[in-house]
Amino acid sequence: SERRVAIGCIGLAYFLDDAALSGLMQALYDWAAPGSSMALSQAYGEIITSNNQAALDAFKRSGAEIFLRNEAEIRHIVAPWHVREIKPLATWLNMENMLDESDRSDGNAEMFGLILERM
């Protein structure tokens, strides 16, 4: 029977390297029926600064490496899923004022949420 499902992939994608995340996305796409959807969170970073590199290094030393991705990279990795929506997590949560401009420019990394659809 067809599995038209909603999948939550929150707090996971940014701990997987590109190959592992791509493999997971393909396996879930193959398993789910057309019309299925997925919510996914991703740590977004366009530029690696010394501040966020220090944080990434600390995670890596603790055995929990974080993989920042920009929009083009995450769109490529989640394929063949169709990206229906992508926006900052603060926007999804209606908390746009959660980070001020200095927070954004200092590290240039924040969380994004995506809604994916299996066509």
DSSP string, 60-77: HHTT-----B-HHHHHHH
Half-sphere exposure of 72 (CA within 13 A, CB side): 1
The neighbour count for residue 70, using CB atoms within 10 Å, is 13
What is the domain partition of the chain in residue ranges?
6-117
Fold of 6-117: Rossmann fold (3.40.50)
The model's pTM is: 0.83
The pLDDT profile of the chain, 119 residues, written as one tens digit per residue, is 688 999 999 999 999 999 999 999 999 999 999 999 999 999 987 666 777 777 778 878 888 888 999 999 999 999 999 999 999 988 998 887 766 666 555 555 689 999 999 99
